[in-house]
Amino acid sequence: MIAYIESHTPLLLSVLPRIIPFYVLRPTLPGWLRDWLNFVPAAVMAALVFPDVFFYQGNFSPNPLENLFLMAAICTLLFSVITKNFFGTIVFAMAFVAGMRYLGWMV
């Protein structure tokens, strides 16, 4: 029993401080703040993806003809807008990068 408590204590100490504010503050947050917080996931995702897309082989490369990942991002964005298929978009992006590397166009 003690081993169970010791192994789950870090989990509780990590998860509870993240969950409790949502239950305590949710009814008291103003509507404009709740609307603003809806943009946080998109901002976090953009912050995670930006370096991988625009920094190619260790250098900042905004030219899609010299940057495989930027070209893949542009083509994948167009594919996702046209098809509106989440799974298909992921498969398309991976196939695009793999195909370009197989063809040796951008290594």
pLDDT at position 75, please? 96
Q: What is the pLDDT of residues 1-57, one digit of tens each?
A: 556 666 667 777 787 777 777 777 667 778 888 889 899 999 999 999 999 899 888
Kindly tell me if the per-residue pLDDT of 78 is higher than 90. yes
The pTM for the full model equals 0.65
Give the H/E segment covering residue 8: helix 2-25
CA distances, 52 to each of 1, 71, 95 (Å): 45, 12, 17
> For 49-56, which contacts have Cβ atoms below 8 Å and span 24 or more sequence positions?
49/73
pLDDT at 89 over 80: yes
